[in-house]
Structures are given as structure tokens and as C-alpha cells.
Chain A
């Protein structure tokens, strides 16, 4: 009988070690919450430019010149571009901070083999998606300051969803379901292009916060009370 208990323990050890060496599990739920909050703040800042007719061109004179030249750098001359960049980095940095804190507490290395693999797999669809959407944006600048914005928010959500699904093999499995939901919101957004910012705020903001709270409640809260 004792041998059977030993075999059961051995199997448990094997499974545990396979998991631990192939998945980065120190992803903090609070990272999701903070990224979601950043997204909502970003969406609020962007709102008047998108829906209330606030002028999103930074410098009109250069913009007109850029327009005449067909210069794609006109993108950099819009407030919306910099709001997007700022939101992205704020979300990324805040997510890294909470996950860094958690991995330090868990005693796992932040840049170990599993974290690196996760970063590579999440980055590929994001970088490709970002490049693709940038190309799409500048391809629309022939008409007077009119960009192909209709496809931008669905594109962000779809590529992000694919990135999550692709990388869920290398971290907590729940990430996959967040990926499906992002993908779905992106696809629905395609039918309602005028409401892009709302979908964006829902996908990157609300869904991140809900997911983050769920994960925090499931994994992190328990260890904090230990």
C-alpha cells in the first residue's frame, strides 16, 4: 500500500514540475485591474476628441503641410496617437509592477525561462497587429485628415485577443478565456464601427478589471492571507 501512495506522490510531483517549468504563474490579478484602469482613463481623455469634435490635431499648420505632402508622419501630429501611446505604456508598466511584486513574493524569477517564453509569445501578435494597424492608419491619409479609424479598435481587440489565446499555453489557463472575449468584442465592433471607443473601453478597460478581480480573488487573495 505504501508503494501506491509513493507512486501517487511521484505522479503529482511530475505533473507539478511540468506545470511549473512550462508556465509563468506569477501573473498578478492586480496587473489586469491596473491595466484596465489605465485603459479607462485613456478612453476618458480620448472621448472629447473622438465624439465631441475637440480638435485632435496638435499643430494645424504643419498638419496642412503634411497633408499636402502626403506625409504619414501626420499621425504623430495628433493628440489621439499620443494618448494611445501613453495609455499603452502606462498599462504595460503598471502590469509589470504588480506581476514583479508577486513573483518576488512567490520567489520565482521575473525573467526566468517561463516569463521569457510568455513575453515572446504575447509580443508576436501584438507587434504584428500594431504594425498592421499603423499601416492601415497611414493608408487612409489621402482624404483631408480622415483616417481609417473604423478598423482600428476592432483591430486592437482582435490582435490582442489572438495574443492572449496564443500565450495562454505559457501562463495561467484563464488568460485564454479573456482572449476569446476580446476577440468576440473585436468582431462585434466590426459591425458598429462608429462606437469604436466604447468597445475599446469595454474590452481593454472593463473586461481587464473584471478578469483581474476574478484572478486576484482566485489566486492572490488566498496567498496574502497565508
Chain B
């Protein structure tokens, strides 16, 4: 049997990133401000984690406008959805194995 730890994705190895993925997997698209409010973190912190996830094609960014203000929204990609599911499965396996 292979070690479930192998399936743990280093990309999700942070509370903030897990939080981002959790929110995006139950909401079709979420704005930067809504994410900030839900996760209760600073702009800079959130932006850097979002950038890392975006660069790895886990999430996609859409820039739009509400009136004249820019409104950036985020959504999870197909491959991101798959990666996150594998990560959760690995976490669950580790818990089961310990029992």
C-alpha cells in the first residue's frame, strides 16, 4: 500500500490556502473582498496565496467592473478541483490509518 502522505499536495499546505479552496469549492465565484472577510486576513497575505494558487492553475482570476470600480473574482479550475479532492482524500486516509 502506498503512503497516503505522497498524495498530500504541498500547494495546500497552509491554512489560508485550505481556506481559499474550501470557500471556492462551494461557491461558483468569490470576490477578493469576500474572501478577505471570510478568512480574516490582510490584503497582502491573501494576495500572495492567491497568486501562488493561480500560478499553479489551481484557481482562475476574472477581472470585471462594478460600475467604475474593479471587481476581481476567483473560481476554482477543473484541475484545481481534482487536486483539492485528492488532497482531502489523503487527509482522510491519514486519519483513518491512525485509528
Contact with B along A1-42 (1 / 0, CB 8 A): 101100110110111011011100000000000000000000
Q: Is B15 an interface residue (CB 8 A)?
A: yes
Contact with A along B34-66 (1 / 0, CB 8 A): 100111000000000000000000000000000
Contact with A along B9-21 (1 / 0, CB 8 A): 0000001001101
Q: Is the interface of A mostly helix, strand, loop or mixed?
A: helix
Count, chain B residues at interface, CB 8 A: 22
CB of A17 within 8 A of CB of B37, answer no
CA distance A7 to B94 in the complex (A): 7
Number of A-B contacts (CB under 8 A): 53
CB of B94 within 8 A of CB of A14, answer no
Count, chain A residues at interface, CB 8 A: 18
Q: Which residues of B contact A109 (CB under 8 A)?
A: 37
Q: Is A112 an interface residue (CB 8 A)?
A: yes
Contact with A along B83-99 (1 / 0, CB 8 A): 00000100110110110
CA distance A3 to B95 in the complex (A): 9
CA distance A15 to B19 in the complex (A): 9
Q: Which residues of B contact A3 (CB under 8 A)?
A: 5, 94
